[in-house]
Structure 1
Amino acid sequence: MKFESNLDKGIDYNNEYHLAKFGKWLKHRQIYELKGKVAKKNIFSYSFDENSRVLEIGCGIGQITAWVKNKHGFDINKELYPPLKKEGFVMHDSVKEIPNNYFDELVMSMVLEHIPEPINFINSLKVKLKENGKIRLALPRAYYHKMKDMNKSADGHYYCWGFPDINYLLNRCGFEVLINKKFFRRGIDRLFFISKISFPLYMMMIQFLGFLKNDFDIIIIAKKNKQV
């Protein structure tokens, strides 16, 4: 399984992308852990058992699920595996080697928009979930109105979804959608100093600024149907 990159933008997700862009978070422990706390609030706030066995696909440097007790990961960038293993991740070299009917939760944050065939991709991962297992997606909102060149994809994205579109896709793949929500956020890094004073205040501030700028991610949580 290999992502194709947007050549016009010069993005190569196979060549130390995450270490170059986000490696600073690994060195700054407080920011790394803050990313996990934010994810816990917006991606995992609904019906999450902390004893669940979790698989994160496209886990990058692992900040989204590092706080989870029982966590597995897969990423196309194998340079990330040593630091991820130090964080307690069980890492898999390929999707095929990931056991089927094994996980309670499947997590993808800012991943699905990079996949040229999302239905096939989700179907290949659905079998990894137990019956009634859940998928948790975080996706970027569509922001084509801000683009000056319509011949270029935003950050190597093949797709940008609204809720009806991603819900339809998940239904086609045999999932029952449980939650749709917007997560407004702005200044996650810049306002780090506020989190040291008060995390609730920090969350309120980044969400308020996101609301003012209409800057948000979309969060979708769905359950694998029994008959699938």
Structure 2
Amino acid sequence: MFHKEHSTPIFNLITKKEFYKNLTPYLNCIDYTVSKESYEVMKNNSFDMLVTSPVPDNLNKYYLSENYISHTDSKNSLFDKVYHLVKNYTLKKKLKLIDSFKTEEKSILDIGAGTGDFLKVCKNNGWKITGVEPSEKAREFSKSKNIILQEDISEIKNTQFDVITLWHVLEHIPNLIEYVQQLKKLLKPNGVLIVAVPNYKSYDANYYKEYWAAFDVPRHLWHFSQTSISKIFSLVEINVEKVLPMKFDSYYVSLLSEKYKTKKSQPIKAFLTGLKSNMKAKRTGEYSSLIYVLKNR
């Protein structure tokens, strides 16, 4: 059923310039995955978030790497195999989370669906699935699993969903302001939005600084805190209900960060740093990545 969208005039007062004004230097980071180019990470104090500058004209070419693992099903290396073992575990946790919501039709939209594994699990457990994935290569992998994905969110017309998920996607969106408005239109009243993003206020982020792999410039255009997520979505009357940890991310990110920092793999040191980050986050709540469960009003 399609519900009439809510009007949110306050959001129209916030322009893209709001995110780019009064920026102060924070860090200089390098794209270790593709280009080896240098980018400034600037801080917006009013939203308590970081902004990557400049934004390249052709962002797509910065995703063209076999190292960009979320768009492949590669299991060639030990690292790939460990990644996929963890992914299978987290897929079960994600399913358990969405199954915990009381929904009308069990309809779900997954944005940035990658190679379709999450939607396949959802489909096998009674969910009515829709997915969006801009990568043609990833869509082809997904198609081989009988999961058909749209290329862009604009292709979804005249429908709303009980649940919308963005697993490590929001940080990639160039037109953040407009995109949040689109999410509002696609979410049913009282629908649930799940947003998972890296947390630049975690211990591992502060430890590795410019080498922190989750900065991932220029693919990550925005770097969020709990304050920024709450502020941005409250403007469209979508409010944070609870915040959950992604504990595996500290180990994965630390492993990559060690490689960037020292030019060699240091799995033991990375594991200890990831462990320390999670232990500190038990007190502060600032895990390496966070899942925000938000509800539409």
TM-score, shorter chain, exceeding 0.5: yes
Number of aligned residues? 199
Kindly report which structure 2 residues correspond to 1:1-228, keeping only aligned pairs within 5 A, or say none.
Answer: 9=31, 10=34, 14=60, 17=64, 21-22=68-69, 23-25=72-74, 32=84, 35-41=87-93, 44-45=96-97, 47-48=100-101, 52-69=106-123, 70-142=128-200, 143=205, 146-148=208-210, 154-156=216-218, 157-185=220-248, 186-187=250-251, 210-214=274-278, 216-225=288-297
Give, in angstroms, the shift of residue 136 of structure 1.
0.4
Higher helix proportion (structure 1 or 2):
2
Give, in angstroms, the shift of residue 73 of structure 1.
1.3
CA distance in 2, matches of 1:223, 1:45: 14
Please, which runs of 5 or more residues in structure 2 have no aligned partner? Answer: 1-28, 36-57, 253-270, 279-286
Give, as a single letter, the amino acid of the residue that structure 2 aligns with 1:216. S
Q: Secondary structure at the match of 1:90?
A: coil
Change (3 A) 1:174 1:33: farther
Give, in angstroms, the shift of residue 108 of structure 1.
0.6
- RMSD between superposed Cα atoms in Å: 3.6
Give, in angstroms, the shift of residue 57 of structure 1.
1.1
Task: Check conservation: 1:111, 1:139, Cα contact below 8 A.
Answer: yes
Give, in angstroms, the shift of residue 17 of structure 1.
4.1
Please, which runs of 5 or more residues in structure 1 have no aligned partner? Answer: 1-6, 189-206
Task: Check conservation: 1:54, 1:103, Cα contact below 8 A.
Answer: yes
Q: TM-score, normalised by structure 2?
A: 0.55
Q: TM-score, normalised by structure 1?
A: 0.70
Task: Check conservation: 1:32, 1:63, Cα contact below 8 A.
Answer: no
Change (3 A) 1:155 1:223: same
Q: Secondary structure at the match of 1:101?
A: coil
CA distance in 2, matches of 1:211, 1:141: 16
Change (3 A) 1:83 1:224: same
Deviation by residue 1:74-123 (Cα, 9 ceiling, x = unmatched): 12112222221233423113322213333211111111112233222111
Q: Secondary structure at the match of 1:89?
A: coil
